[in-house]
Structure 1
Amino acid sequence: MRRTTTRVLLSCAAIGVGGGLVAGASGYLAAAFAAFGPLFYGVTVGAHFLPSIVALALLKRPGTAVLAGVIAGLVGAIFAPWWIGRFVGTGLLVGALIELPFLITAYRRWQPWMFYIAAVFSGVVLAVGVFFALGAEHYAVWAWAIALPLWVASPVLFTWIGRLIAARLARAGVAQAGASAP
């Protein structure tokens, strides 16, 4: 097993802090959707995917999606401490679900489609969980026909954005190891 470098840990921390700022804002947007347009609440779930996707796509190391997701959850909770369990739990769950296809391949394959498969699978898992948690019987079929696809589409959209950010960071040299001192 390879050791995790300080560079990887600090990169995950930086990505997690950036993602936590997005998650903090998304938490308030989600609360507004829950109060005024619960059918569209699923649109905001994708924001929680951003740090995990960026970390995994940029660093290509086991555990980076989970670590960045948890750090993002902790930072997001600064803006709404009463939601700390939701933020950290979501970061942990999303990070683990995103890493699942890569874990299955022993982290040997990094094709773009694997990120999207992970996003769709994660979106379905979250949609089904919310479907039962909110009480499916309280909503009309047409409402779920609108809401559930949004729970799947949002993670896919944010996966695309996260991969784009990771590619731009890589192009800028952020993921490269620094030159060692003589």
Structure 2
Amino acid sequence: MSCAAIGVGGGLVAGGAGYLAAAFAAFGPLLYGLTIGSHFLPSVVALALLKRPGTGILTGLIAGLVGAAFAPWWFWRYVGTGLLVGVLLELPFLVTRYRRWDPWMFYLAGVFSGAILGIAVFVAQGAEHYAWWAWIISLACWVGSPPLFIWIGRVIARALERAGVARSVTRA
């Protein structure tokens, strides 16, 4: 239930960010990466709050489904991004067998994910047509956006934890 609630909230944010991303893609493609961080938000909140395997993936999927309700023609883009971000965020925790939940692990996953996604999208946009400085601007947006939203997500998770939202979840 917690993953569903977080996913719905994150999906509302992702739905709005999808239209902003479309505007950036049309009018300022170098800044398109600024919106990718919004897709990290629900998975980060779920992982930081619940500290359970699979919560990032499940919450990302739910957020993608809710986001797709605002733009059904981008259904697979929302769902695919939600799942991909959930998987990429869970990788460092999977490596530690979900025994460590250090904050730097969230940020490492975010920077790595942003770099991978940024390079892939920039190449798909026709990177050979851009100058070197355009690469720098684009990658800075892609790499900088996820850590910002990870920080916001961790702040939200701490506030929810203080409010007692995850009190019934037993931790190892």
TM-score, normalised to structure 2's length?
Answer: 0.96
Counterpart for residue 110 of structure 2: 119
Matches of 1:155 and 1:174 in 2, distance apart? 25
Matches of 1:138 and 1:16 in 2, distance apart? 37
SS in structure 2 of the partner of residue 173 of structure 1: coil
Aligned residues: 169
**1:115-145 CA distance string (max 9 Å, x none):** 1111111111111211221121021211111
Cα pair 2:122 2:138 within 8 Å, conserved: no
How far did 1:61 drift?
0.2
1:83 aligns with 2:59: no
SS in structure 1 of the partner of residue 156 of structure 2: helix
Structure number with greater Rg is 1
Q: Share of identical aligned residues, percent?
A: 73
Runs of 5+ unmatched residues, structure 2 = none
**Aligned counterpart for 1:162 among listed residues 145, 153, 160:** 153
Counterpart for residue 83 of structure 2: 92
Runs of 4+ in 1 over 6 A off after TM superposition: none
SS in structure 2 of the partner of residue 90 of structure 1: helix
Structure 2 counterpart of 1:20, one-letter code:
G
**1:33-62 CA distance string (max 9 Å, x none):** 111111111000000000000000000000
RMSD (CA atoms): 0.9
Matches of 1:69 and 1:126 in 2, distance apart? 16
Structure 2 counterpart of 1:132, one-letter code:
V
How far did 1:113 drift?
0.7
Cα pair 2:45 2:156 within 8 Å, conserved: yes
Structure 2 counterpart of 1:131, one-letter code:
F
Superposed counterparts of 1:11-30, under 5 Å:
11-30=2-21
TM-score, normalised to structure 1's length?
Answer: 0.91
